[in-house]
Amino acid sequence: MLESLRRIVQEVNNAQDLEQALNIIVGRVKQAVGADVCSVYLNDFENHRHVLQATEGLRADAVGRVRLEMGRGLIGLVSERAEPINLDDAANHPRYECIIDTGEERYHGFLGAPIIQNRKVLGVLVLRQRRRRHFGEDEVTFVMTLASQLAGAITFARTSGELARLQDDGIPQRFLPGLAASPGIGIGMAVVVYPPADLNAVPDRRPDDPDAEMRDFRRAVDDVARDLDRFAARTQVHLSAEDMALFDAWRLMLESDTLIDGTLSRISGGNWAPGALRETIAEHAKVFDNMDDAYLRERASDVRDLGRCILMHLQNQTAAPIQYPAQTILVGDEISAMQIADVPRERLVGIVSTTGSGSSHVGILARGMGVPAAMGVSDLPVSRIEGREMVVDGYRGRVYVSPGPAVRFEYQRLAEDDAALTNELQTLRHLPAETTDGYLIPLYLNTGLVSEARPLGIEESGGVGLYRTELPFIVRDSFPGEAAQMENYRHVLELFAPRPVTIRTLDIGGDKPLPYFPMQEANPFLGWRGIRITLDQPEIFLTQVRAILRAAIGLDNLRLLLPMISTVGEVDDALLLIQRAHDELLEEGYQVKMPPIGVMIEVPAAVYQTEALARRVDFLSVGTNDLTQYLLAVDRNNPHVAKLYNEYHPAVLRALLQILTGARLHGREVSVCGEMAGDPLATFLLLGMGVHSLSMGAGGLLRVKRVIRSISRARAREVLRVALECEDAGAVRRLLLDALEAVGLGALVRPGK
């Protein structure tokens, strides 16, 4: 059963559109369970009915014609209860209604399973048996498991099919939901990015010159053939004749008409070589996937491997730089910082990814750069949207592909309102972040995620509150040396001098692995990360600290920050190493100074030890991104649980209060450098609590300043008092929205009305 399940899900995932997906489902499920009929009804919420969308066993002409009022009959009952119903004779059930036109009246056994996605019932999968039959527990769980796995594929296939049919004539259509990751409206043209040699991620694209594409493809196939020969010759001595036969099989596959002619005809049909190859390989692999013989089924992975090899050669030949349109919306399943940095800033108007969430590092980067972004848009068929017009609503996390004129017009208006707001905010650039009752709260910049000669926000910030040092480590193929690191740190220290620059020591691990430092961990966020790595590998830490201390010579604006602290022992050990690096440098004749040292409070354990930590260091900086993730047990990159990730959660607010109390006992200042600091709604809370400074991406600086300059500290304290009485994050957010709207600043967090 498990094997059939895996195969059915895989086939459905490869379907081109909804109709094909549903036909696969009904055909395969009927066969696997030995039922007489398998049908799928989908819920049509607009017209309030259940519609027969596919069947194997009932009359084919009933598809699309049989429509039941929502809530009626057994289908309605399964949908309403959102649980399976298993009856040996359906007609005896009080809710049974005979559906005419399908020939269903002759059947007795009935099993209906709801198809659910994100708590919403999308439809019902129904099995019928001519004789009386009570489906066994295994069969019920099989159908339920399948239905739960199919929901996503059904939504995806529906969107994909809709888009395939959609002409660029502005047919209005619904939006694709995702997660709000960076506020603002972006209207532009989709440029799809994908990891190299990842066949599934290759988009469809119209070729400029089909003949050249064909030539490239043929050349790539020849290259792979040569690779195979070379490899065969090299391994001949180590392999048996039987194993060597594998190479012949690969050659046969590589030279087969299915592969060559299939791809060439797709290129003449209007796709570029990589897209045509993707489709051909998927079709070819499917044939093997469907075979009953386990050995032959395994050949599907050989076909995919061959596809990857050809793609690799194709990409090597065609690695021309991407031409970004004037209004680029960068789209991908996963988008890297490097891919973002490759787009000239003035051309980048939006970022959309099918995975991740607002709190993942790409979200942080987008906010820092002020680029509207939606993440976790899981229904977006990335491979089909290259070159289409798109709208990204970064306030609500929505995406429109080829929007109709009404949608486009409305968003154009919102984008203009946004631009007006941005202009208005510019007038604050040289004004202090001071409340109406005269309380000053320095605003600092978070930077370092991408390499920029002049990061945005230099002028409007009071310095750097968080310089993330991971980038130079991520972009290389080995650890950077002391001199290379020093150059990097010197640049940022000089750029902001005499304003302070807080440099954080290396925080790799979690969602920032290093390609040359492999870590295989079941739970990377709970594993070897940040200070845990650098204390275990003191040579990495010492090199970095030496580079940082040397970079600051003569500037005196350095502050040093330690990430992921969960015990006082880690701080003691790190302080000893810093002292050692300092003393050694002095001995070597460098005029280094001991900078103020701080720790990040981002692990719940550190919250409860703030006092002991504060005693050891000069300042504290709260990393609300990780603190929220660890307090609420919600992976900040996982879109399935993104709804639960919420910085207004009462537990997060109480943790912040606890940190401030602990720090106060030793007179230490507390800064907040997580994303919460750049959220204009949270300004009320952080100001009310008495946080000493805020550090954020460039996109938040003027928005937060606007709030600070519009309210008094007394008002912030009042809002905080009420917030602390709320029992859930939703109530806190509503309260903050009301407070922001009361000072006329609602547009800072939602598009104008």
Q: Which is nearer to ligand PEP, 187 or 694 (CB)?
A: 694
Cβ at position 607, least distance to ligand PEP in Å: 13
Q: Which is nearer to Mg ion, 204 or 626 (CB)?
A: 626
Segment interacting with ligand PEP, rule: CB under 6 A, options 158-166, 331-339, 619-627, 698-706: 619-627
Nearest to 464 by CA among 498, 428, 437: 498
Q: Which is nearer to Mg ion, 307 or 623 (CB)?
A: 623
Cβ at position 652, least distance to Mg ion in Å: 14
Instruction: Please state, in angstroms and rounded to a whole number, the distance separating the CA atoms of residues 654 and 636.
Output: 20
Q: Which is nearer to ligand PEP, 339 or 624 (CB)?
A: 624
Distance of CA 82 to the CA centre of its chain: 29
Nearest to 555 by CA among 492, 471, 597: 492
**Residue type for position 85:** I
Nearest to 582 by CA among 606, 547, 555, 557: 547
Cβ at position 700, least distance to ligand PEP in Å: 13
Cβ at position 635, least distance to ligand PEP in Å: 13
Helices and strands (H and E) in the chain: how many: 25, 22
**Residue type for position 163:** L
Q: What 3-state class would DSSP assign to 214?
A: helix
Cβ at position 674, least distance to ligand PEP in Å: 3
Cβ at position 227, least distance to ligand PEP in Å: 41
Q: Which of 279, 418, 626, 647 touches Mg ion (CB under 5 A)? A: 626
Size of the site for Mg ion (CB under 5 A): 3
User: Based on C-alpha coordinates, what's the Rg of the chain?
Assistant: 30
Q: Which does 55 bind (CB under 5 to 8 A by kind): Mg ion, ligand PEP, none?
A: none
CB atoms within 10 A of CB 346: 10
Distances, alpha carbon 183 to alpha carbons 467, 476, 649, 681, 700, in Å = 23, 32, 21, 13, 10
Nearest to 71 by CA among 49, 97, 54: 49
Q: Which of 55, 625, 646, 683 touches ligand PEP (CB under 6 A)? A: 625
Per CB under 6 A, does 468 bind ligand PEP?
Answer: yes
CB atoms within 10 A of CB 435: 20
Q: What 3-state class would DSSP assign to 38?
A: strand
Per CB under 6 A, does 624 bind ligand PEP?
Answer: yes
CB 530 within 8 A of CB 564: yes
Instruction: Please state, in angstroms and rounded to a whole number, the distance separating the CA atoms of residues 221 and 309.
Output: 9
Q: What tokens does 652 get? A: 């997060």
Cβ at position 612, least distance to ligand PEP in Å: 21
Distances, alpha carbon 539 to alpha carbons 479, 505, 536, 546, in Å = 11, 13, 9, 10
Backbone angles phi, psi at 701, to 5 degrees: -55, -50
Q: Which is nearer to ligand PEP, 602 or 679 (CB)?
A: 602
Instruction: Please state, in angstroms and rounded to a whole number, the distance separating the CA atoms of residues 158 and 201.
Output: 19
Per CB under 6 A, does 394 bind ligand PEP?
Answer: no
Segment interacting with ligand PEP, rule: CB under 6 A, options 116-124, 133-141, 343-351, 617-625: 617-625
Per CB under 6 A, does 602 bind ligand PEP?
Answer: yes
Q: Which of 602, 635, 675, 679 touches Mg ion (CB under 5 A)? A: 602
Q: What is the 3-state secondary structure (H, E, C) of 464-511?
A: EEEECCCHHHHCCCCCCCHHHHHHHHHHHHHHHCCCCEEEECCCCECC
Q: Which is nearer to ligand PEP, 289 or 602 (CB)?
A: 602
Q: What tokens does 286 get? A: 């499917």
Segment interacting with ligand PEP, rule: CB under 6 A, options 2-10, 248-256, 350-358, 618-626: 618-626
Cβ at position 673, least distance to ligand PEP in Å: 5
Size of the site for ligand PEP (CB under 6 A): 10
Q: Which does 624 bind (CB under 5 to 8 A by kind): Mg ion, ligand PEP, none?
A: ligand PEP
Q: Which is nearer to Mg ion, 56 or 602 (CB)?
A: 602
CB 727 within 8 A of CB 484: no
Residue with tokens 């709000």: 180
Q: What 3-state class would DSSP assign to 265?
A: helix
Q: Which is nearer to Mg ion, 493 or 603 (CB)?
A: 603
Per CB under 6 A, does 500 bind ligand PEP?
Answer: no
CB 78 within 8 A of CB 124: yes
Distances, alpha carbon 532 to alpha carbons 253, 537, 538, 571, in Å = 49, 9, 10, 11
Distances, alpha carbon 53 to alpha carbons 11, 72, 79, 200, 484, in Å = 18, 17, 15, 28, 62
Segment interacting with ligand PEP, rule: CB under 6 A, options 252-260, 306-314, 545-553, 624-632: 624-632
CB atoms within 10 A of CB 282: 18
Q: Which does 674 bind (CB under 5 to 8 A by kind): ligand PEP, Mg ion, none?
A: ligand PEP
CA max distance for the chain: 95
Instruction: Please state, in angstroms and rounded to a whole number, the distance separating the CA atoms of residues 139 and 135.
Output: 6
Cβ at position 173, least distance to ligand PEP in Å: 36
Do the bridges between strand 443-447 and strand 693-696 make them parallel or antiparallel, or are there none, so unpaired?
Answer: parallel
End-to-end CA distance of the chain: 53
Per CB under 6 A, does 635 bind ligand PEP?
Answer: no
Cβ at position 80, least distance to ligand PEP in Å: 43
Q: Which is nearer to Mg ion, 306 or 466 (CB)?
A: 466
Per CB under 5 A, does 635 bind Mg ion?
Answer: no
CB atoms within 10 A of CB 714: 12
CB 40 within 8 A of CB 75: no
Q: Which is nearer to ligand PEP, 466 or 749 (CB)?
A: 466
Q: What tokens does 228 get? A: 């195979």
Segment interacting with Mg ion, rule: CB under 5 A, options 115-123, 192-200, 219-227, 601-609: 601-609
Q: Which is nearer to Mg ion, 379 or 626 (CB)?
A: 626
Cβ at position 544, least distance to ligand PEP in Å: 16
Active centre residues (catalytic): 361, 673
Q: Which of 84, 463, 598, 623 touches ligand PEP (CB under 6 A)? A: 623
Q: Which does 673 bind (CB under 5 to 8 A by kind): ligand PEP, Mg ion, none?
A: ligand PEP
Cβ at position 172, least distance to Mg ion in Å: 42
Q: Which is nearer to Mg ion, 160 or 628 (CB)?
A: 628
Q: What 3-state class would DSSP assign to 351?
A: strand
* Interface mask toward ligand PEP for 506-545; x: CB under 6 A: -x--------------------------------------
Segment interacting with ligand PEP, rule: CB under 6 A, options 245-253, 276-284, 307-315, 622-630: 622-630
Per CB under 6 A, does 626 bind ligand PEP?
Answer: yes
Cβ at position 625, least distance to ligand PEP in Å: 3
Per CB under 6 A, does 356 bind ligand PEP?
Answer: no
What 8-state DSSP symbol labels residue 530? Answer: T
Distances, alpha carbon 185 to alpha carbons 188, 280, 307, 342, 681, in Å = 10, 37, 38, 21, 19
Q: Which of 57, 623, 678, 680 touches Mg ion (CB under 5 A)? A: 623
Q: Which is nearer to ligand PEP, 58 or 466 (CB)?
A: 466
Segment 664 to 723, residues that bind ligand PEP, using CB under 6 A: 673-674
Q: What 3-state class would DSSP assign to 204?
A: coil
Segment interacting with ligand PEP, rule: CB under 6 A, options 170-178, 255-263, 623-631, 681-689: 623-631
User: Which residue ranges make up the site for Mg ion (CB under 5 A)?
Assistant: 602, 623, 626
Which residues of this chain interact with ligand PEP, rule CB under 6 A?
466, 468, 507, 602, 623-626, 673-674
